[in-house]
């Protein structure tokens, strides 16, 4: 008599989704009631209720921006839901996939940095429009051609991702300052950006699965059609409703001011911290699936992906608790512990391939910290980086991260000199150095405050 061995496919328990949803709900609902310093006095204000302490003009501005930012996040997500499957569908081998990633990193490194500087000089609205146009071209390219050039697609997607990392935030901060809204309200928009981005990425996965409907062979181009539609909506909205501030600096003036700004050690600490964060996130998304599926383990990755983004949503909702809660803490202190936590998480992953449930727990903890770190770093940029240098500063950080990613991809993909564990260890080391940067930034801030009082 034959023995039938059943193959078990691991996936998260349904109660994990319920738990993340409930915790996010409670965090959003209870924050205003437990906050002594926040001007918000009603629950769910960010999601649409009315407050007498916040100007209605700011709420209209915030919601208008978050609408476009959410559409941009969905466009970013639609292009990455299927990942390797889409490459394989169009006949690319593993080696060609690595080449595609390398080309994308090189494009971001060589061109993406100049786009950040360009946005500071010509205005952020034009660069945000370029983001939408790139996605529009990619969507049309995939929908029209049976076998689109994935080298060109990779370049366009990488440039669009570079713009996404700085363009929308820079426009929002500049316009927020131009209109005259209170600076303390920026923190709310920063954490809501992280929250809405995670929600939109989950929505892009749901939308893609609905469009394909278990028939990927015939409907693989449907997500590209959706991208075309969303890109056209975003272009129309930005052109008609977004305002463009006049360029804050001519090229010569930008050069002079950038020299002065880059002479500030605090800016370099922020640049390095942002670069380490971006590098660790990119390494994570490259390696998380191979690590979980090591040794031939069967895993439903599509069910784990929303857990990770749900954890990031939870992390972003903790921002108002830390900075406007009953006992507000310094941004540097919060980032110091968050960077140390993420460093230890990736160190544990690099040390040994754990049991799947434990790995998913570590990955969720990593994303909770990422949800906290991203808006907190944006908060620090507002404190130390002038508005007219914000895009250039973020793109400078991205250039360092892309250079590191390109290096590890070449070493891993071609020369086989390093393994997945080594790449994770590099990312963990970078996060520990970022924690050191936050410690130095805190010490220098205290010293400056002390000298000011003595003076």
Helix (H, G, I), strand (E, B) or coil at 69: helix
Q: Are 100 and 151 in contact (CB under 8 A)?
A: yes
Report the pLDDT value the prediction gives residue 51, as an integer from 0 to 100: 43
Whether 46 is covered by a domain: the verdict is no
**Phi/psi at 450 (5° precision):** -65, -45
User: d(Cα 192, Cα 194) in Å, to the nearest integer?
Assistant: 5
Mean pLDDT of the chain: 83
Across 287-291, 359-363, 451-455, least confident range: 451-455
Whether 51 is covered by a domain: the verdict is no
Report the pLDDT value the prediction gives residue 47, as an integer from 0 to 100: 41
Place of tokens 């992390």: 315
Whether 6 is covered by a domain: the verdict is no
Report the pLDDT value the prediction gives residue 130, as an integer from 0 to 100: 95
User: d(Cα 317, Cα 188) in Å, to the nearest integer?
Assistant: 10
Asked if pLDDT for residue 275 goes beyond 50, the answer is: yes
Strand partners, 10: 299
* Number of structural domains found in the chain: 1
Whether 18 is covered by a domain: the verdict is no
Asked if pLDDT for residue 301 goes beyond 50, the answer is: yes
Report the pLDDT value the prediction gives residue 392, as an integer from 0 to 100: 87
pLDDT, tens digit (0-9, with 9 covering 90-100), for 90-125: 777 777 788 888 888 888 888 888 898 888 888 889
Q: Give the pLDDT band of residue 46 (cuts 50, 70, 90).
A: very low
Whether 355 is covered by a domain: the verdict is yes
Asked if pLDDT for residue 286 goes beyond 70, the answer is: yes
User: d(Cα 76, Cα 90) in Å, to the nearest integer?
Assistant: 20
Q: Highest mean pLDDT range out of 189-203, 289-303, 383-397, 406-420? A: 189-203
**Tokens (6 digits) for 343:** 């460093």
Q: Which range marks the domain in which residue 350 is found?
A: 59-454
Q: Are 339 and 330 in contact (CB under 8 A)?
A: no
Helix (H, G, I), strand (E, B) or coil at 414: coil
> DSSP readout, 136-182?
HHHHHHHHH-SS--HHHHHHHHHHHHHHHHHHHHHHHHHHHHHHT--
Across 46-60, 161-175, 261-275, 428-442, least confident range: 46-60
Whether 221 is covered by a domain: the verdict is yes
Q: Give the pLDDT band of residue 447 (cuts 50, 70, 90).
A: low
Distances (CA, A) of 393 to 30, 120, 209: 35, 10, 37
Q: How much is the average pLDDT of 263-267? A: 84
Whether 29 is covered by a domain: the verdict is no
How far is C-alpha 278 from the geometric centre of its chain's CA atoms? 8
Asked if pLDDT for residue 153 goes beyond 90, the answer is: no
Report the pLDDT value the prediction gives residue 265, as an integer from 0 to 100: 87
The four Cα atoms 128, 157, 396, 96 give a dihedral, to 10 degrees, of -170
Whether 4 is covered by a domain: the verdict is no
| CATH code, 427 | 1.20.1250.20
Residue 434: half-sphere exposure toward Cβ, Cα within 13 Å = 33
User: d(Cα 153, Cα 135) in Å, to the nearest integer?
Assistant: 10
pLDDT, tens digit (0-9, with 9 covering 90-100), for 320-375: 888 775 567 788 999 999 999 999 999 999 887 678 888 999 999 999 999 999 99
User: Largest Cα–Cα distance of the chain, in whole Å?
Assistant: 90
Report the pLDDT value the prediction gives residue 324, as an integer from 0 to 100: 72
Q: Which of 181, 187, 180, 227 is nearest to 208 (CA)?
A: 227
User: d(Cα 267, Cα 249) in Å, to the nearest integer?
Assistant: 19
- How many CB atoms are closer than 10 A to CB 299? 18
Distances (CA, A) of 308 to 48, 242, 311, 324, 434: 26, 32, 5, 26, 22
Q: How much is the average pLDDT of 64-87? A: 85
Place of tokens 């919060």: 334
Asked if pLDDT for residue 448 goes beyond 50, the answer is: yes
pTM across the whole model: 0.89
User: d(Cα 390, Cα 190) in Å, to the nearest integer?
Assistant: 14
User: d(Cα 227, Cα 78) in Å, to the nearest integer?
Assistant: 7
> What percent of the chain lies above the pLDDT cut of 70?
83
Q: How much is the average pLDDT of 194-217? A: 85
Q: Which of 320, 68, 311 is nearest to 186 (CA)?
A: 320
User: d(Cα 92, Cα 149) in Å, to the nearest integer?
Assistant: 11
Alpha helices in 213-250 (DSSP H): 216-219, 222-241
Q: Are 68 and 237 in contact (CB under 8 A)?
A: yes
- How many CB atoms are closer than 10 A to CB 455? 5
For residues 383-397, b (16+ Cβ closer than 10 Å) or e, as one string?
A: eebbbbbbbbbbbbb
């Amino acid at each position: 008599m034959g023995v039938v061995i059943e193959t078990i496919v691991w996936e998260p328990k349904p109660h994990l989704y319920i738990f993340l949803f409930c915790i996010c709900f409670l965090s959003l609902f209870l924050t205003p009631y437990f906050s002594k310093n926040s001007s918000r006095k009603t629950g769910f204000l960010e999601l649409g209720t009315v407050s007498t302490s916040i100007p209605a003009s700011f709420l209209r501005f915030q919601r208008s921006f978050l609408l476009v930012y959410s559409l941009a996040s969905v466009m970013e997500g639609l292009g990455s839901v299927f990942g390797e499957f889409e490459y394989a569908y169009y006949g690319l081998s593993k080696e060609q996939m690595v080449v595609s990633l390398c080309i994308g990193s090189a494009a971001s490194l060589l061109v993406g940095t100049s786009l950040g500087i360009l946005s500071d000089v010509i205005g952020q609205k034009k660069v945000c429009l370029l983001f939408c146009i790139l996605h529009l071209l990619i969507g049309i390219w995939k929908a029209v051609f049976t076998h689109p050039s994935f080298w060109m697609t990779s370049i366009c997607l990488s440039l669009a991702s570079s713009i996404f990392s700085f363009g929308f935030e820079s426009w929002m901060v500049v316009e927020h300052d131009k209109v005259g809204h209170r600076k303390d309200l920026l923190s709310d928009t920063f954490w809501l950006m992280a929250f809405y981005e995670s929600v939109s990425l989950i929505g892009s996965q749901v939308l893609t699965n609905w469009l394909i409907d278990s028939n990927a062979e015939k409907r693989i181009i449907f997500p590209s059609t959706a991208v075309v539609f969303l890109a056209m909506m975003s272009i129309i909205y930005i052109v008609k409703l977004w305002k463009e501030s006049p360029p804050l600096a001519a090229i010569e003036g930008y050069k002079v001011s950038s020299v002065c700004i880059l002479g500030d050690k605090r800016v370099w600490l922020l640049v390095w911290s942002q670069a380490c964060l971006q590098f660790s996130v990119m390494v994570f998304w490259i390696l998380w699936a191979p690590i979980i599926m090591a040794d031939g383990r069967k895993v439903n990755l599509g069910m784990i992906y929303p857990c990770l983004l749900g954890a990031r949503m939870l992390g972003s909702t903790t921002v108002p608790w830390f900075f406007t809660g009953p006992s507000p803490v310094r941004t540097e202190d919060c980032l110091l512990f968050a960077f140390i936590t993420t460093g230890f998480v990736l160190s544990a992953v690099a040390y040994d391939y754990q049991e799947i449930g434990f790995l998913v727990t570590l990955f969720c903890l990593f994303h909770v910290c990422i949800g906290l770190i991203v808006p907190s770093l944006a908060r620090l940029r507002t404190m130390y980086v002038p508005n007219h240098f914000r895009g250039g500063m973020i793109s400078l950080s991205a250039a360092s991260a892309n250079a590191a990613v390109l290096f590890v991809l070449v070493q891993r993909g071609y020369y086989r000199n390093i393994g997945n564990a080594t790449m994770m260890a590099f990312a963990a080391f970078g996060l520990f150095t970022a924690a050191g940067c936050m410690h130095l930034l805190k010490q220098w801030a205290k010293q400056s405050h002390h000298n000011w009082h003595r003076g």
